[in-house]
Amino acid sequence: RKEVEQDPGPFNVPEGATVAFNCTYSNSASQSFFWYRQDCRKEPKLLMSVYSSGNEDGRFTAQLNRASQYISLLIRDSKLSDSATYLCVGTNAGKSTFGDGTTLTVKP
């Protein structure tokens, strides 16, 4: 079993849709969690950190449930520019483990 598992996708949604990505992690010692965005043939870049209290950045909301070892990312009012691969990451003692990523395509 992988340490970080994501919805396999792909997700194909129309503009304006709300889409949710889920991720589970098996290492209960993981301390920090993040969502990264990776565009085609580019390097991953940080989208947002994930906290138990939940955090919001514009149209993006991330949530961590430590009891269920579950992380989520919600994108509201999807834009064409949101098309990318979204990577869930758990970090323990400085070592970051990535999920395989979920590909999102937003269509006009």
Partner 1 sequence: DVKVTQSSRYLVKRTGEKVFLECVQDMDHENMFWYRQDPGLGLRLIYFSYDVKMKEKGDIPEGYSVSREKKERFSLILESASTNQTSMYLCASMLGQGGELFFGEGSRLTVL
Site for partner 1 in 85-104 (CB under 8 A): 87, 89, 91, 93-101
73 binds partner 1 (CB under 8 A): no
Place of tokens 């396999």: 8
Is 107 a binding residue for partner 1 by CB under 8 A? The answer is: no
Residue 60 binds partner 1 (CB under 8 A): no
- Binders of partner 1 among residues 40 to 59 (CB under 8 A) are 42-46, 49
Burial environment of residue 33 by CB neighbours within 10 A (0 to 12, 13 to 18, 19 or more)? buried
| Per CB under 8 A, 65 contacts partner 1 | no
Q: Which stretch binds partner 1 (CB under 8 A): 12-20, 28-36, 63-71, 75-83?
A: 28-36
Joined together, the tokens standing for residue 38 give: 């990776």
What is the bridge-based pairing of β-strands 11-14 and 102-107? parallel
Please give the Cα distance from 72 to 98 (Å, whole number).
Answer: 14
